[in-house]
Amino acid sequence: MTPRLSPPSRDLTKSNAQFQRAVQRLPLGVSSSFRYWGDDRTVYVARGKGGRTWDIDGNAYVDYRLGYGPAILGYADDRVDAAARKGMEVGGVFALSTERELIVADRIAKMVPAAELVRFSNSGTEAVMAALRLARAHTGREEYLLVEGGYHGLFDAAMWMADMEGWTPGSNGDPEMVPYGKGIPQTVKKLAHLVPMNDLQRLEDTFKQHGDRMAAMLIEPIQGNCCGISARRDYVQLARDLCDRYGVLLIIDEVKTGFRVGKGGIQGLLGIRPDITTFAKAVANGYPIALVAGREDVMRSFRFGGASHGGTYTAHSVSLAAAEECLRILDETPALVTLASYGEALKSGISGILNARGIAHSFSGHASMFGIFFAEEAPDNYRDWKVSDYSFYDRMAYYLHDLGVIVEPDSREPWFMCEAHGTEASCLTDTLKAVELAVDLTLQDQADGTLDAAE
Ligand SMILES: Cc1ncc(COP(=O)(O)O)c(C=O)c1O
């Protein structure tokens, strides 16, 4: 008989005490609701370096959330931080322009040919919001199309999703389109349309029905908030063709994939040219900066009498200097190859562990940001996720935290790789050791019949 495994324990005394203090002043004790992991599991970070994070209790983690992707090179990268310090000496923001804006925009246009013109924003949300406004200004239309499982930030127009919790797999009907939460006006809903990913017929039908009134189609060809579910090339090509036919602008949201899955983003890998692209996350290794970029005639609608765009902090000298250095590294060194190779090695190590235990699984997305599924085949769209064994993932993730590996507790968030994972000693071996034990503990819970219990 195999001996029973004891669940790992982690000392979170200081984090728990911090939570009790913080919750008096900060809603849920945090600054983003997704950082709240329960009253006794919410982690407060002391620092990050490379591919690792340390919490205030001194627990070390190999980190695959990387702040939801920005730390493409690793936390506190010496090269980018040195550049940012120089950027600080410039003086911040002036409500005037600096020369470095053009230097960074030139680099972006070189790496992403569709980025003919570039505008800077501060966050992914701001960039997508500006992109949609630009599309509306350019086309004179108001409606727009979203893809089920996509995420485009926290602004009202983008906060409509397929209600997968309330949907029954195999039913003939579509999941209902619901807001992400309260506070989103119902009046916005009538402008949004939602289609399932990779369903060519549905895409064509939706354009037939609404195409003449739509300003834009927004798509993340690798869904960075939905398991890395990926659009097939023929689907994105059809989207491109339909947009052309109906005068709709194609917005590829590369907030997560940009400067991560390849120098030219997912659009480069697919060979499909959008009208507008949004970037954020990896642009400056975590310094807050984002971009709207695209076709010259469209981008020139950012003008007086056209689409408004601006913001006190746009093109801040610190973020801009960090972006210049980060993009230089991504463009001129093999950093992206290093991190993708690490991702491949990690996937293969995880597969070895799962295969040895006869556990069906698959991976989605790209080696630099992949989802893990406990199903034979990776899902083709969000509806397929509902039939995968996500309770196995959820429990495994719970144990991984205790074992020193940070992944998102929700199976819909992919694992992110950084250059430092690939160059630092022992990230891979530490992770695989933890995965092996987490899988065995989860199997034990499954055998005990406790897997579906809430954490
Ligand atoms: C594809 C995509 N678009 C937009 C956003 C919003 O970006 P931010 O959180 O910087 O506002 C995100 C954030 O995760 C994202 O993944």
State which ligand 1 atom lies nearest to the alpha carbon of 128.
4
State which ligand 1 atom lies nearest to the alpha carbon of 126.
11
**d(CA 145, ligand 1 centre) in Å:** 17
Pocket of ligand 1 (CB under 6 A): 68, 123-125, 128, 151-153, 220, 224-225, 253, 255-256, 280
In the structure encoding, which two tokens stand for residue 5, read together? 């495994």
Residue 147 is given by DSSP the state E
Collect all residues with Cβ–Cβ distance below 8 Å to 61 and sequence separation of at least 6. 52, 53, 54, 55, 401, 404, 405, 406
Instruction: Please state, in angstroms and rounded to a whole number, the distance separating the CA atoms of residues 440 and 453.
Output: 17
Instruction: Please state, in angstroms and rounded to a whole number, the distance separating the CA atoms of residues 216 and 260.
Output: 24
Cα 7 to Cα 41, 353, 397, 410: the distances in Å are 15, 19, 13, 20
**d(CA 75, ligand 1 centre) in Å:** 19
**d(CA 357, ligand 1 centre) in Å:** 36
**d(CA 124, ligand 1 centre) in Å:** 4
Give 174's Cβ-side CA count (13 Å radius).
15
State which ligand 1 atom lies nearest to the alpha carbon of 153.
6
**d(CA 123, ligand 1 centre) in Å:** 7
Give 93's Cβ-side CA count (13 Å radius).
12
**The residue to which tokens 């900066």 are assigned:** 289
State which ligand 1 atom lies nearest to the alpha carbon of 278.
3
The residue whose CA has the least distance to atom 3 of ligand 1 is 152
The pLDDT tens digits of the residues spanning 159-182 come to 999 998 889 988 888 999 999 999
Q: How many CB atoms lie within 10 A of CB 253?
A: 30
Beta strand extents in 93-135 (DSSP E only)? 117-121
**d(CA 153, ligand 1 centre) in Å:** 5
Contact 184, 198 (CB under 8 A): no
* Residue 454: per-residue pLDDT: 45
**d(CA 354, ligand 1 centre) in Å:** 31
**The residue to which tokens 């570039």 are assigned:** 118
Backbone angles phi, psi at 69, to 5 degrees: 120, -25
The pLDDT tens digits of the residues spanning 41-78 come to 999 999 999 999 999 999 999 999 999 999 999 999 99
Q: Which residues of the chain have pLDDT under 50?
A: 454-455
The residue whose CA has the least distance to atom 8 of ligand 1 is 124
Output the CA angle 424-415-362, nearest 5 degrees. Answer: 115
* Residue 435: per-residue pLDDT: 98
Q: What is the pTM of this model?
A: 0.96
